[in-house]
Amino acid sequence: MIDTPVNLREVGRLRVLEALHAAPRSSRPELVRVTGLSRATVSSLIADLIAVGLVTEDEGADETEPRRTGRPAQSLSLVPSAGYAIGADIGHQHVRVILCDLFGAVLWEHWVAKEVDRAPEETLDLVAVLVGRALQETGVPRTRVLGIGAGIASPVELGSGALGAEGIMPGWVGLRLTDELRRRTSLPVRVTNDANAGALAERMYGAGRDAGDMVYVRLSAGIGAGIVSNGRLLLGARGLAGEIGHLPLTADGLICRCGNRGCLETVASPVAIARLLSDSWGHPVAPRDLPGLIQQRNTGALRAVRDAGDAVGRALSMLVTLLNPQLVVVGGDLASAGEDILEPMRAGVRRHTLPSAGEGVRIVTGGLGDGAEVRGAAGLVLADAPQLLSGAPAVAAEPA
């Protein structure tokens, strides 16, 4: 086997792009310090990156570090339009697609109500149509798109990208979402489950920006957790870490759609809460009715939501004990209940964990609302933007 020689200039180029991606505004002296490259090398690489349209510099802009003498350092930053990412959020009853620039600013967004679980072909065709609309309506060339990130309400196996959708999304079992979307869009595709996407978004743009160890809990028709450990998503051996919705809470509980009995989803999802209220009141209550009932301070609905919060807290206590996060961020449909669900969750965590671990973790609602999952899907691509840009200068430099 012949080793490929290392191209030191390409390595240096990647280091500069990584530094500019991490700190949106920098300067040549700062890049020398951060990358460990020589001043001459940084100046040469910056000249090349400016020439191909990846980097811009501003005259007289604020410096990252004060200077006492000499000519003020010019501010350098990546060009937001040097690359784009598409995010797709595929839920049980909706599809949402966005187009973002290099810094994650949303330039185009569209949401469609769709019964997804038994209609994979129609759903993926719809995603492809929305991708085409996004590019057409914004004028972004397809060659500038670094890729599509897709978050889906199903476990996703690492490596193969196969969906572990048995009982969860029946029509999608075994489907390889990466291959299907790539075939329809001719773009690179990355896939994760929706809770991991939400965790990534809250870590990059939302409530978890300052938290290296956090758990994102999505409380919707499905309940899942995205785990960030030491600043990185924790996926597990097969990519299935964080499926807390299927932790068993009650030995004699209802049969879950996963086939087990008494899972968290059977007592704490919006579907479970609505079913409980329907049985108690003798008339239908839909999950979409819950926000209005909570806002009206309906005592029965409040009790059901608080009981659900306690159940989620008990499940979370296992993660808090095992992982010791500093922050838990709550998203999904039930996050709109605010303190009515957060306080029982906090109490449940405190009651079932070591005092030092339970008292040390903060539990808050997410900062991105129902857009967390789709922004995190795009973030799958944007997180690797330096590597993707470093190998494609001609693509990034094409005129818009």
- Radius of gyration of the chain, Cα coordinates, nearest whole angstrom: 23
Report d(CA 222, CA 131) in Å as an integer.
26
Closest among 217, 194, 197, 169 to 325, alpha carbons compared? 217
N- to C-terminal Cα distance for the chain? 42
The count of other CB atoms within 10 Å of the CB of residue 395 is: 18
Degrees (nearest 5) of the Cα angle 116, 121, 124? Answer: 75
The answer to whether residues 312 and 351 touch, using CB atoms and an 8 Å cutoff, is no
Report d(CA 118, CA 101) in Å as an integer.
33
One pLDDT digit (tens) per residue for the chain, 400 residues: 444 444 678 888 999 999 999 887 899 999 999 999 999 999 999 999 999 999 998 865 444 445 445 555 689 999 999 999 999 999 988 999 999 999 999 999 999 999 999 999 999 999 999 999 999 999 999 999 999 999 998 888 887 778 876 778 888 988 889 999 999 999 999 999 999 999 999 999 999 999 999 999 999 988 999 999 998 999 988 888 999 999 998 888 899 888 889 999 999 999 999 999 999 999 999 999 999 999 999 999 999 999 999 999 999 999 999 999 999 999 999 999 999 999 999 999 999 998 888 888 999 999 999 999 999 999 999 999 999 998 743 333 333 2
Closest among 313, 304, 312 to 276, alpha carbons compared? 304
Give the model's pLDDT for residue 158.
Answer: 82
The answer to whether residues 148 and 181 touch, using CB atoms and an 8 Å cutoff, is yes
Three-state DSSP state, 67: coil
Report d(CA 278, CA 257) in Å as an integer.
19
The count of other CB atoms within 10 Å of the CB of residue 70 is: 6
- Pure H helices in the chain: 8-22, 28-35, 39-51, 120-138, 177-185, 194-204, 265-268, 270-281, 290-295, 299-323, 339-352, 355-360, 372-382, 385-390, 393-396
